[in-house]
Amino acid sequence: MITGIGVDIVNVPRMKRWRQIPGLLERYFHPHELSAALSRAAAADLSLAARFAAKEAFGKALGTGLEGIVLKDIMVANRHNGRPEIEVFGTARRALEKSGDKVSFISFIIPEFAVAFRMNMPEAYRYLVRYGGFEFLLKHWWALHTDNKYWALLDIYDICRKNGGYLR
């Protein structure tokens, strides 16, 4: 059962501006997460934007937003296979425990799906929700994350198509 989905989009140039303000990134990102993102050189701003969007999506999935949560208490880390995971500490852990619900979020698949199927972000989001793509992804992520991204996107589209979601 899906009890919370959070999706957010962050403008990548915003992260470039933030990098110019001393101490700002340290305010919002866990030290390990900041180190991982900045090690990506040319892709650092994209990595920071994706991580920040995941933090905001986490708050949306909670259903309470980020009020009272220190953002660096939410760490987005990549596993050895590249799969992103959220780890929560301190204020974020307390908010999660207080919610009592399993928090599900997907913020990384919408841009990939949108690009692959020539949609804008809101169209991709509505399509995935309407035709069961989110539910399928959450239920079968354990198998999809080991798949090639291309095949995972096709699997999600195939489920949506079976539920009446035909694309031009």
Q: What is the DSSP string of 43-67?
A: GHHHHHHHHHHHHHHHHHHHTSTTT
Residue keyed to tokens 């979020």: 105
pLDDT band at 1 (very low <50, low <70, confident <90, very high): very low
Residue keyed to tokens 């095949």: 151
- 87 beta partners: 75
For the stretch 48-89, pLDDT in tens is 888 888 888 888 777 777 889 999 999 988 877 777 788 888
Q: Where are the domains of the chain?
A: 12-99, 109-162
- Between 27 and 129, name the one with better pLDDT: 27
For helices 31-38 and 44-62, the axis angle rounded to 10 degrees is: 140
Residue 79: its pLDDT value, please? 78
Domain 12-99: CATH architecture, name and number where available: Alpha-Beta Complex (3.90)
Q: Full-prediction pTM beyond 0.75?
A: no
For helices 90-99 and 44-62, the axis angle rounded to 10 degrees is: 40
For the stretch 12-26, pLDDT in tens is 888 889 989 999 999
Paired tokens of 76: 């987005």
Cβ burial 134-159 (10 Å sphere, 16+ → b, else e): bbbbbeeeeebbeeeeeebbebbbeb
